[in-house]
Amino acid sequence: MHILESYALQNDLKIDKASVYEKYFPLAIDKFITIDTSNLGTSALVYDHWQLVVDLIHPKLEEEGIKIIQLGNKDCIPLRQCYMTLGQCNFNQKAYVLRKSLVHACPNNESSHLASVYNKKSVVLFSNNCYPSQFLPYWTDKDNLEILKPYSSHKPSFNPNENPKSINTIKPEDVAKKILNLAGIHTFAPEFKTVKIGNSLRRPRIESALTHLLDAQKLGVSSLIMRMDLNFDEEALCKQLDSCVCSVITNRPLSDKILNQYHKKIVELVYYIEDDNDPAFIKKTKEKSIQYLMRSRKKEEQTNDFKLDYLDYGLVERILPRSQNDFEELKDLKNLYYKSTHFIVHNNKFYPNTAAFLRLDHGSSTMEHEPYPVIDDPLFWEEEEHFHFFVKK
């Protein structure tokens, strides 16, 4: 039974068509679809892959002169290639925008029901924390409605804060295809099929190989990560720290001068412990109140020796070597490709991971890149959280 029917039954009331009082909202465009990324304070409804959906549908919509408007509250992450209304539309203004929209896409939030008042063509995403049949947009015709939900053999969790979020298992190309079909565009045929999306894909990670000064603001990140383990250049590190706050990854101790002068600008320090290491460096780092992590890629026996040496300073995390077959979704797959949001900047080129950088492969002038074949290297799989994996059809 739909929740609206349940309320009607309990209160002995008849269900009628809803009406909404609209308020004008200025729009610079006439032909558009809407995507509402708000979640009603329920993290289980936060779909992390809306940007991937937009990247897929934008070229096709542009061919037809159709734009994208993003609705939502001020806490929503802005989507590229969209007109922004985040935090600007109240409920009544949102109704005005939705009435003019060609297609509406959203998770199971209030706007799905608001669009239903207008029998608007809609794509609605559900997580596995409810029965979708109980919350469908009530006044939308079946021909105008596409419902996407995770595949699961389990009953709904009814948990508003799922971890991991089941809604994220919905593939972005499936969402894109439903939106475009409702918009009357039937030429969408992606060459690749999603098999896995890393949990950190939506959070870009920019690392510097210290070949030149970078502007964190222009790159769209709050701070940079300096890869001193790839290019130990203390002079370049000082120049970057003069410019912005940074995190530092190193396998060699930094000088006392840097720790003394820049300790307030080092957000975090990651120390990879090698054969030639120095516990006194971590002692000084701790004295300067710099947050730090200690890691080792050595075998278990040698890492255990390191743990004794650094016992007074915390845990030493051992990084286990992994391969493709260590990931259930990727096991034994052929023609496997990836896209990345983890970049190492070297000589004005963006390399999509450490393994690619060490080979000087797949460098590009921007952070936009085509899918590349995966690299069979443990360093590559260390960074899989920032990758979108595909198989070629």
Domain that holds residue 41: 18-190
The number of folded domains in the chain is 2
Residues 104 and 146 in one domain: yes
Q: Which structure tokens are listed for 30?
A: 């006439």
Q: Which structure tokens are listed for 120?
A: 């608007």
Residues 131 and 234 in one domain: no
Look at residues 285, 318, 351 and tell me which one is the last residue of a structural domain.
318
Per DSSP, helices labelled H in the chain are 3-11, 50-63, 91-100, 110-117, 172-182, 216-219, 234-243, 256-262, 279-287, 300-309, 354-359, 378-382
Residues 179 and 301 in one domain: no
Residues 127 and 54 in one domain: yes
User: How large is the average pLDDT for residues 55-73?
Assistant: 96
Look at residues 298, 318, 338 and tell me which one is the last residue of a structural domain.
318
Does residue 142 sit within a domain?
A: yes
> 323 pLDDT exceeds 90?
yes
Residues 229 and 95 in one domain: no
Confidence of residue 214 (pLDDT cuts 50, 70, 90): very high
Confidence of residue 65 (pLDDT cuts 50, 70, 90): very high
Question: In CATH, what number is assigned to the domain containing residue 28?
Answer: 3.40.50.2000
Residues 240 and 118 in one domain: no
Does residue 140 sit within a domain?
A: yes
Q: Strand, coil or helix: what is 96? A: helix
Residues contacting residue 92 through CB under 8 Å, at least 6 positions apart: 20, 21, 22, 23
Does residue 364 sit within a domain?
A: no
> 68 pLDDT exceeds 90?
yes
Does residue 391 sit within a domain?
A: no
d(CA 321, CA 299): 10
pLDDT per residue as tens digits for the range 135-176: 899 899 999 999 999 988 788 888 888 888 999 999 999 999
- Distances in Å between the Cα of 375 and the Cα atoms of 77, 359, 371, 379 are 31, 10, 12, 9
Confidence at residue 154, expressed as pLDDT on a 0 to 100 scale: 83
Look at residues 318, 343, 367 and tell me which one is the last residue of a structural domain.
318
User: How large is the average pLDDT for residues 226-251?
Assistant: 97
Are 147 and 124 in contact, with CB atoms under 8 Å apart?
A: yes
d(CA 356, CA 377): 10
Say if strands 67-71 and 83-84 run parallel, antiparallel, or are unpaired: parallel
Please give the model's pTM, rounded to 2 decimal places: 0.87
Peptide bond into 371 cis (omega under 30): no
Q: How crowded is the C-beta side of 58, counted as CA atoms within 13 Å? A: 14
> 12 pLDDT exceeds 90?
no
> 131 pLDDT exceeds 90?
no
Q: Which structure tokens are listed for 178?
A: 């439903």
d(CA 285, CA 305): 21
Does residue 331 sit within a domain?
A: no
Work out the burial of residue 20: count CB atoms within 10 Å of its CB; fewer than 13 is exposed, 13-18 middle, 19 or more buried: middle
